[in-house]
Structures are given as structure tokens and as C-alpha cells.
Amino acid sequence: MRYLTAGESHGKQLTTIIEGIPSHLPLLREQINESLIRRQGGYGRGKRMQIEKDLVEITSGVRHGYTLGSPITLVVSNDDFKHWTDIMGEDPLPEDTQKIRRTVTKPRPGHADLNGGMKYGHRDMRNVLERSSARETAARVGAGAVAKVLLKELGIEVTGYVREIAGIVSDVDENLTLQQRREISEASPVRTFDEKAAEKMMHAIDEAKKEGDSIGGVTEVYVEGMPPGIGSYVQYDRKLDAKIAGSVMSINAYKGVEFGIGFEAARRNGSEVHDEILWSEERGYYRRTNRLGGFEGGMTTGMPIVVKGVMKPIPTLYKPLQSVDIETKEPFNASIERSDSCAVPAASVVMEHIVAFELAKAITDEFPADYFPRLKRAVDDYRKEVREF
Ligand code: EPS
């Protein structure tokens, strides 16, 4: 499985082409829309999300509610494009239209503007920001939504929520099931568990907005139902935790990834880190604890996967930071027209879908995956085999 996305933030549309989804998987447009709508929400979003209503059109690869095994194309229109038809149109503009172009010569610290401009020779850095914008995550959520449908049919569930915003930590009872995590976070405006922490987070978002600043946080994805032994220890590039980490790091504004207790493992003795192995007739092999977050040796253990990602504050700020105009080389204080003050709740939905795609990809790499019923039989047989190991 693989996918590509295309589209500029204020261009006509976002497009996702997904390759490698087995045939005969039941798939409905509404299942993808549900994910897209979840991504648009969360306390701290700016004005752009009031303009957009992300709904998908499936233009290939699905017929009469089932996948064909051929590439699936998803299209999400940018409703804001109607305000940007000249600025973002594909046709050449007359010479004296500098105003219409809304040329960007002032790079924002923390964004891709300056490095991307230097790399691609874009002296109008709009050509960079249009593509580096986190608008693109809508296209990635589309791919992840299809992956989630495949996983669900195989008894694997994935959910994402917020653990921390601006240093305010929301504790989670480790015994909560995936379903409980999903229901509680879905009902929270900041997609988290602890109501007191949620109040404080919303206050911090209000304060950041007032001050023209932005704030970041930590998102967590929790997975139940992955069979053990997915991924591999035999070669570096087959380790599934490494693939997930790389993928999470590719989400806009992400700066770090942890599995289970993560960096805390550096501070504990081995006896306080590793998860003891138990066996029962009812469960087969399982672990007393899950400090390693569902991975050993680059492979799943069969315990829930618990992975955290760190999102830095969004670099588009109302509060000016110093930068340099690339035309005049004069210093200036960067300021902008609109931004999200906090996109951490939305990012937790993005991360859920990014992780789901990697898991579905790992499953389809591991088992025969052209025809969904055959894939399902293979996964069921494997589950039985490892249980009796
Ligand atoms: C973004 C800037 C804002 C966000 C956008 C990401 O958009 P605009 O430049 O149109 O005000 O709303 O996020 C989305 C559009 C989205 O769908 O998540 C940026 O610069 O990265």
C-alpha cells in the first residue's frame, strides 16, 4: 500500500491516490467523510475551518460500495478557492498584477517558507507555503480513513486523542478500553479525558489567541487488535515501530515520537521497563504491563500499541517574530492575517490516520492482499497459529 497527495492549500482541490487496497473491501464515502469532519474540529481552530466543509468525492477504485483493487482516488474541494481564483489560477497573469499575486517575500520563522524558497528558487514564497500548509493533512486523513476501514474489518481499531496542550497534562487511566478512550475524547472540545485539564487547556488556547501566539502539545494514538509479530527484527527497514515513527514525524509541525513510556525508559532500571510475559488458556500470551507500548524488536507484541507525538506550536503567528524580507534584506516583524492558535486536537485525528495507514500497510505487506476475503482468512489463520505457539 502507498499513497500520494496533491493540492495547494488555496488551490482547487486536494487529491489522494491510494494504491494497494485489496479488492472486495466494503467502502462507503461516509466512512471517509466522518474522518474528514473530525479533523476539522477542535477548540483553537481559526477562521479557515468555518469556510471549509471537507467532504470527499471518490473518483476511482470503488464500485457499488466495494473496492476494485485498482487505485482509489479521493478528491476534497477547497471551498476557499473561490476567493483565490486569480491568485491561485493556473493561467499566466498579465505583467502589472503584483497586487493580485499577493507575492510572499517575508518568510515566517518556523515555517517551510525560506528553506523551500531557496531550494526551489521561489522568490514568491507563496509557492512554498501553499503546499507546505497543514491543509494537506486532509488528503492524508482520507488515505488513513480507507486504511481504518480495512483494519476494522480485521478486528483492529485505532483511536487518537490529546494528552497535553501547552504543558497542561491530561492523565489517562491505563485501564480504559479503546472504546472508552474514543467516546470520552470525542465528546471533549480538546479531545482529551481529564475535564479539569481540558478546562485549563481551553483557557490556555484563549490566552494564546488573545496574545496572538500559538501553542503546541502531545497527541497519543492507541491501537487494539494488532496480532503479534507484525514488522520484523531481521532488517532495519522492516521494523514497524521505526516506520510508524518516521510517518508520525512527517506530520506538519511534529518534532518527536515516543512508544509506551518512551524517554522515561532512560531513567528507569530494566526491571522497571520490560513487560513480563504471561500465558493463560483464555488470552494466550500476554504481558503484565505495556510499558514498551506494544513493540519489541521492531515487531508488535499483540498488546495495545501506544504511541505519542509532539507537535510544536503553529509557526503562523499574529504576534510578530523577527525575520528578513528577501527582496530588501531589511529586518521586519512577521505578522499574518489568520491562523489557528492551536491545532493539537485536530492533529490527534491526523496522527490516528497516519498510524492507521502504516498498520494497514504492514498487514498487507505481511499477508496475501489482492483479494480482501483471502487476506482476512490469512490473518485469522495466523492469529490461530500464534495463539497455539
Ligand atoms: C495553515 C494555515 C491556515 C489553517 C490551515 C493550515 O489556513 P489559511 O492559510 O487558509 O488561513 O487553517 O489548515 C487548514 C486549512 C486545514 O485544513 O487544516 C498553515 O499555514 O499550515
As a whole number of angstroms, the distance between CA 378 and CA 363 comes to: 10
| Residue 179 C-beta-side C-alpha neighbours within 13 Å | 2
Question: Is 377 among the annotated ligand-binding positions?
Answer: no
Residue closest via CA to ligand 1's atom 5 equals 135
> Ligand 1: distance of its center to the CA of 281 in Å?
51
The H-or-E segment that residue 323 falls in is strand 321-324
Q: What are phi and psi of 68, to 5 degrees?
A: -100, -10
Q: What is the pLDDT of residues 224-280, one digit of tens each?
A: 999 999 999 999 999 999 999 999 999 999 999 999 999 999 999 999 999 999 999
Give the whole-angstrom CA distance, residue 336 versus residue 130. 15
**pLDDT at residue 189 in the model:** 97
Ligand 1 mean position, distance from CA 85 (Å): 17
Q: Which residue among 5, 9, 53 has the greatest number of ligand 1 atoms within 8 angstroms of its CB, and so is best to mutate?
A: 9
Q: Do 15 and 136 meet the contact criterion of CB atoms below 8 Å apart?
A: no
Specify the pLDDT at position 351. 99
Give the nearest ligand 1 atom to 338 CA: 11
Ligand 1, residue 337: give the atom nearest the CA.
Answer: 11
Ligand 1 atom showing the smallest separation from residue 39 Cα? 18
Q: Is 333 assigned to a binding site?
A: no
Give the residue ranges of DSSP H helices in the chain: 29-40, 48-51, 85-88, 98-101, 113-120, 126-132, 137-153, 178-187, 195-210, 240-249, 344-366, 372-387
Tell me the CA distances in angstroms from 120 to 62, 126, 189, 359, 366, one per residue in order: 36, 12, 39, 33, 38
DSSP string for residues in 171-235? ---TT--HHHHHHHHHHSTTS-S-HHHHHHHHHHHHHHHHTT----EEEEEEEE-PPTT-B-SSS
Q: Name the pLDDT band for 102 (thresholds 50, 70, 90).
A: confident
- Judge whether residue 388 has pLDDT over 80: yes
The pLDDT value recorded for residue 355 is: 99
* Residue 98 banded pLDDT, cuts 50, 70, 90: low
Mutate to test the pocket of ligand 1, among 48, 56, 209, 348 (most ligand atoms within 8 A of CB): 48
**pLDDT recorded at residue 101:** 76
Query: DSSP readout, 52-102?
Result: ----EEEEESEETTEE-SSPEEEEEE-GGGGG-HHHH-SSPPPTT-HHHHT
189 is in an annotated binding site: no
∠ CA 43-49-55, rounded to 5°: 115
Confidence band, pLDDT 50/70/90 cuts, at residue 12: very high
- What is the mean predicted confidence (pLDDT) over 178-202? 97
Residues 223, 226, 228, 229: what is their CA dihedral angle, to the nearest 10 degrees? -100
Is the Cα dihedral 13, 14, 17, 21 positive or negative?
negative
Helical pair 344-366 and 29-40, crossing angle rounded to 10 deg? 140
Q: Report the chain's mean pLDDT, rounded to a whole number.
A: 95
Q: How far is the CA of 133 from the centre of ligand 1 (A)?
A: 6
State residue 337's pLDDT score.
64
Q: Tell me: the pLDDT tens digits for 341-383?
A: 999 999 999 999 999 999 999 999 999 999 999 999 999 999 9
The residue whose CA has the least distance to atom 3 of ligand 1 is: 339
Atom of ligand 1 nearest to the CA of 10: 10
Residue 286, CA distances (Å) to 178, 278, 300, 384 in order: 17, 5, 12, 15
Tell me the average pLDDT across 185-208. 97
Looking at ligand 1, which residue's alpha carbon is closest to its atom 2?
Answer: 339
Q: What is the pLDDT of residue 94?
A: 79
Q: What is the residue whose three cell numbers read 490529546?
A: 162
Which single residue is written with the C-alpha cell 505519542?
Answer: 308
- The residue nearest atom 10 of ligand 1, judged by CA position, is 48
CATH number at residue 334: 3.60.150.10
271 annotated among ligand-binding-site residues: no
Compute the distance from residue 134 Cα to the ligand 1 centre, in Å. 6
Structural domain for 269, as ranges: 2-387
Locus of grid cell 501553499: 130
Distance CA 355, CA 340 (A): 24
228 is in an annotated binding site: no
Positive/negative CA dihedral, 109, 110, 114, 118: positive
Q: Which residues line ligand 1 (CB under 6 A)?
A: 9, 46, 48, 133-135, 137-138, 316, 338-340
- For CA atoms 22, 28, 33, 35, the dihedral sign is negative
- What residue's CA is closest to ligand 1, atom 14? 135
Looking at the CA of residue 48, tell me the nearest atom of ligand 1: 12
Q: For residue range 292-351, list pLDDT tens digits in order.
A: 999 999 999 999 999 999 999 998 888 878 999 999 999 998 767 678 899 999 999 999
338 annotated to bind ligand: yes
The least confident of 87-101, 115-129, 290-304 is 87-101
Quote the number of domains for the chain.
Answer: 1
Cell numbers representing residue 100 in the block: 493580485
